[in-house]
Amino acid sequence: MAANSSTGSATEPPGLETQWREIDNLNQQQLRAGDSWYLLDKRWYDQWKEYVHTGDQNSSSYPGKIDNTELYEDLDSYHLKERLTENEDFILVPAEAWHKLLSWYDMMDDQPPLERKVVDLPSTVKVEVYPVEVYLCLSSNLESTVSARFSRADKIHAIHQKIRQHFNVSETAESRLWMRSTDTSSERLRNLNMTVLDTCLSSGMTVIMEIRNADGTWPTSRPQIMRNSADEDSYQGPPGVCGLTNLGNTCFMNSALQCLSNTPPLTEYFLKNSYLEELNFTNPLGMKGEIAEAYADVIKQMWSGRHYSVVPRVFKTKVGHFASQFLGYQQHDSQELLSFLLDGLHEDLNRVKKKEYIELRDADGRPDQEVAEEAWHNHLRRNDSVIVDTFHGLFKSTLVCPECNKVSVTFDPFCYLSVPLPVSKERVMEVFYVSLDPTAKPTQYRLIVPKAGRVIDLCAALSQATGIPPNQNPNPFKMAVADVFNHRFYRIYQTDEFLSCILDRDDIFVYQLSSGCVDQDGEEVVMAIYMRERSHYRDYGSGSNSYGTSLFGHPLLMSMPRAQCTREALYQLLLKRLARYVRPLDPSEEVEEEEEDEEELYKAQTNGVSDDEGEEDSEEAGPSKKEEETQESSQNEEQNNCQSEASPSSEGEERAEEEESSSEPDRGSSTEEGQSACGSTDTNSQDATDGDQSAGAEPSGKEEEDEEEPASCAQANKRLPGRRHYTERRKKALFTMQAVNSNGTTERGMGEADGSFSFSSQPYIAIDWDPDMKKKYYNENEAEKYIKHQSMDVPHQQTTVQLQECIELFTTVETLEEENPWYCPTCKKHQLATKILDLWSLPEVLIIHLKRFSYTKYSREKLDTIVEFPLRDLDFSGFLLKKTVNSTEPPCRYDLIAVSNHYGGLRDGHYTSYARNKDNGQWYYFDDSKVTYAREEQIVTSAAYLLFYQRQDKIRHPTIPPPIPSSTQPENHVSSQTCDGMDGAASCVSMETD
Strand partners, 830: 823
Pairing of strands 592-595, 728-731: antiparallel
CA-based nearest residue to 132, from 115, 149, 145: 149
DSSP summary character for residue 80: B
Measure the CA–CA gap between 668 and 477, rounded to whole angstroms: 47
Q: What is the CA angle 361-347-890, rounded to 5? A: 65
Cβ atoms < 10 Å from Cβ of 467 = 6
Measure the CA–CA gap between 911 and 251, rounded to whole angstroms: 5
Annotated catalytic residue, options 137, 200, 242, 251: 251
Measure the CA–CA gap between 258 and 924, rounded to whole angstroms: 10
Dihedral (C-alpha) 163, 164, 167, 169: value to the nearest 10 degrees?
150
CA-based nearest residue to 748, from 736, 764, 734, 733: 764
Sequence-distant (≥ 6) Cβ neighbours of residue 684 within 8 angstroms: 621, 630, 752, 753
**Terminal-to-terminal C-alpha distance of the chain:** 72
Measure the CA–CA gap between 732 and 755, rounded to whole angstroms: 18
Residue 680, sorted as left (phi over 0), alpha (psi -120 to 50) or beta, turns out to be beta
Q: Are 347 and 285 in contact (CB under 8 A)?
A: yes
Residue 40's H or E segment, with its range, is strand 36-41
CA-based nearest residue to 638, from 602, 687, 701: 687
Q: Are 931 and 918 in contact (CB under 8 A)?
A: no
CA-based nearest residue to 894, from 854, 848, 858, 863: 848
* Burial class of 682 by CB neighbour count within 10 A (0 to 12, 13 to 18, 19+): buried
Measure the CA–CA gap between 764 and 51, rounded to whole angstroms: 14
Measure the CA–CA gap between 8 and 2, rounded to whole angstroms: 12
Q: Are 567 and 678 in contact (CB under 8 A)?
A: yes
Measure the CA–CA gap between 144 and 973, rounded to whole angstroms: 31
Task: Give me the helices (H) in 537-658, please.
Answer: 567-577, 598-603, 611-619, 624-644
Q: Are 98 and 38 in contact (CB under 8 A)?
A: yes
DSSP summary character for residue 502: S
> Which long-range contacts does 219-226 make (Cβ < 8 Å, 24+ apart)?
219/139, 219/140, 220/139, 222/186, 223/139, 223/178, 223/186, 225/139, 225/142, 225/178, 225/180, 225/186, 226/180, 226/183, 226/184, 226/185, 226/186
**Residue 938 one-letter amino acid:** Q
DSSP summary character for residue 778: B
* Burial class of 731 by CB neighbour count within 10 A (0 to 12, 13 to 18, 19+): buried
Is 251 one of the catalytic residues?
yes
Strand partners, 582: 778
Annotated catalytic residue, options 392, 789, 910, 973: 910
C-alpha distances in Å from residue 393, one per residue of 346, 347, 387: 14, 17, 11
Cβ atoms < 10 Å from Cβ of 898 = 27
Just list the catalytic residues: 251, 910
